[in-house]
Amino acid sequence: MKITTSTVVLVLGASAPAAVSGFSFVSRSQPQCFQTRQKVQLQMALFDGMKDAFNAPPSTLDAQRETPIDRWMGWNTKPADMEAVSVAEAPVDFVDSMEVANYFTAALEKPMGIVFEENEEDFGGMFVLSLNDDGAAAKGGIVEPGDQLVAVNDIKVSGMAFDEALGAIVNSETDKTQLTFFRGTDAQLYGPTGASQEW
């Protein structure tokens, strides 16, 4: 009885960027002409990544807590001339659509004297483009160009198609129609910082 032994050669890379990683089975019972060897070339250097590990940004340590190892490793306290970076500041013209103070209601008789314009297709809804001087809105002094229409009486029209939202005003049968507006832009009302539908 003849016993055949096999040798398993395992090639493992020290880190992920190796060009070839695999197994090669070589049987001692095979003739030499069938045995092949694969050439493995690793494409990495011994100290790859070491430079990044020791290039830490300046620390925010207090001067009293700084140790000699901090200075030796370059983890010194932040230089005095380095300004503090603010995390996030709201733009100067930002209007919060979740703030109730940015909404108002105007009770207007027809003809209201408001020229509405459709918002961009992404948002839907409509806004006040201009006011006629002899209309109820201009005389009331509350509504301004740029205001976003949110509701007509008890019907929410924000985000509706232009014709549907305008139809809610036309179909209103009350003496004074309650129009609720948001004082801000369409992006502030409908965009990523806008109020949720539940709100």
pLDDT in the model for residue 27:
53
What is the structure's pLDDT at 33?
53
According to the model, what pLDDT value does residue 15 have? 45
**pLDDT at site 114:** 95
Strands 177-182 and 103-108: antiparallel
Q: How many other C-beta atoms are found inside a 10 Å radius of the C-beta of residue 47? A: 8
What single DSSP character describes residue 146? T
For residue 6, the model assigns a pLDDT of 45
Residue 176 has what pLDDT? 94
Instruction: Please give the angle made by the CA atoms of 185, 167 and 130, to the nearest 5 degrees.
Output: 40
pTM over 0.75: no
Mean pLDDT per 10-residue segment, the chain (199 residues) = 47 46 52 54 59 59 72 65 57 83 93 93 90 92 94 92 93 93 90 72
Distance CA 178, CA 153 (A): 5
What pLDDT score does 94 carry?
82
DSSP count for the chain of H helices, then E strands: 5, 8
Gyration radius of the chain over CA positions: 36
pLDDT of residue 103: 93
Euclidean distance between CA atoms 196 and 189, whole angstroms: 9
